[in-house]
């Protein structure tokens, strides 16, 4: 291991009816693509609650991919439009928190579009690789002063207790 290339961890929520089948097709057609996406199958892109995405980020994902049927082709008639509206709202919210736009992507892939999905994944992995790791939970760390300060309070109070009135 001479040179460490950053391999982003990407969580992918793929809908059962189109994009998951596209991923399946990519596999059976032996289309190679970056292995960085961990796929979670959901029944519909409309099932993806924004809290799933935030949970993924807070647990260490570098990016999240949501994939569903093309607009107008949803198995549940129009739920992918709901996914679309939610995605835009979520992306703007995450942007305000400092999460770059490329780290959350919405892709439409029909069951026949294994190639397109593979290309979209490759492109996303490249973009995220350039952004570097997200490491969200690292944002929560306080520096070492905190532990010291807490110990100091205990010590100070112990000393103060020794003083008799």
Please give the residue ranges that form the binding site for other proteins (CB under 8 A).
49-51, 53-55, 57-58, 71, 81-82, 84-86, 88-90, 92-94, 96-99, 136, 139-143, 145-146, 149-150, 152-154, 156-157, 160-161
Beta carbon nearer to other proteins, 3 or 162: 162
> Residue 35: which region, alpha, beta or left (left: phi > 0; alpha: psi -120 to 50)?
alpha
Beta carbon nearer to other proteins, 78 or 126: 78
The Cα 59–Cα 140 span in angstroms is 12
Q: Nearest distance from residue 13's CB to other proteins, in Å? A: 14
Side-chain half-sphere CA neighbours of 128 within 13 A: 27
Q: Nearest distance from residue 153's CB to other proteins, in Å? A: 5
Cβ(43)–Cβ(14) under 8 Å? no
The Cα 57–Cα 8 span in angstroms is 12
Beta carbon nearer to other proteins, 28 or 159: 159
């Amino acid at each position: 291991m001479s040179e460490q290339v950053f391999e982003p961890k990407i969580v992918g929520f793929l809908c059962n009816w189109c994009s998951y089948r596209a991923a399946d097709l990519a596999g059976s057609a032996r289309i190679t693509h970056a292995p960085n996406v961990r796929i979670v199958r959901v029944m519909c892109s409309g099932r993806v609650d924004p809290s799933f995405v935030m949970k993924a980020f807070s647990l260490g994902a570098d990016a999240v991919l949501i994939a569903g049927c093309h607009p107008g082709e949803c198995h549940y008639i129009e739920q992918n439009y709901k996914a679309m509206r939610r995605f835009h709202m979520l992306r703007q919210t995450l942007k305000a928190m400092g999460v770059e736009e490329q780290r959350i992507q919405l892709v439409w892939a029909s069951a026949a579009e294994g190639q397109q999905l593979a290309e979209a994944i490759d492109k996303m992995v490249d973009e995220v690789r350039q952004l570097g790791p997200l490491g969200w939970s690292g944002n929560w760390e306080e520096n070492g002063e905190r532990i010291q300060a807490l110990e100091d309070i205990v010590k100070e109070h112990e000393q103060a207790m020794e003083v008799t009135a």
